[in-house]
Amino acid sequence: MGKLTALGMAVAIATVPVPLAAEGKYDGSVPLLCVPIEAIECQVAGKCLAGTAESVNLPQFLRVDVQNKKISAADESSRETAIGSLERANGRLIMQGVQGGRGWTMVISEETGKMSGTVSEDEVGFVIFGAGTPL
């Protein structure tokens, strides 16, 4: 299974300010600690392999900090990605960004904290599933 060499996921605040009034426990008003659990890697030819977030080189824990517009490895390493855009829709935080020539999207349910994310680059894509909790 290929490796994601960069954090490759993240969160973003749009150029237009988005109000972050508390609508749910996981609304981004406080940092979240997220655990990426499952990862699926798909190659251009349609071959997909299931694995863990660790198998694609994602950190064990991600700190999602909407207020400071970044997602970082919770282990205090230098791995982080800037938040490029954020939208709240239908009870979800929808975040996007770019890092190392890859595009990523992360969606977190404001009610449950369940998350999914994608990372895309040429000829390979990743889908990641996990969950978060407020710090």
Residue located via tokens 């994310």? 117
Measured in whole angstroms, how far is the alpha carbon of residue 88 from the centre of its chain? 15
Q: State the greatest distance between any 2 C-alpha atoms of the chain, in Å, as a whole number.
A: 44
pLDDT tier for residue 93 given thresholds of 50, 70 and 90: very high
pLDDT for 24 equals 60
| pTM, to two decimals | 0.79
pLDDT mean over 120-128? 94
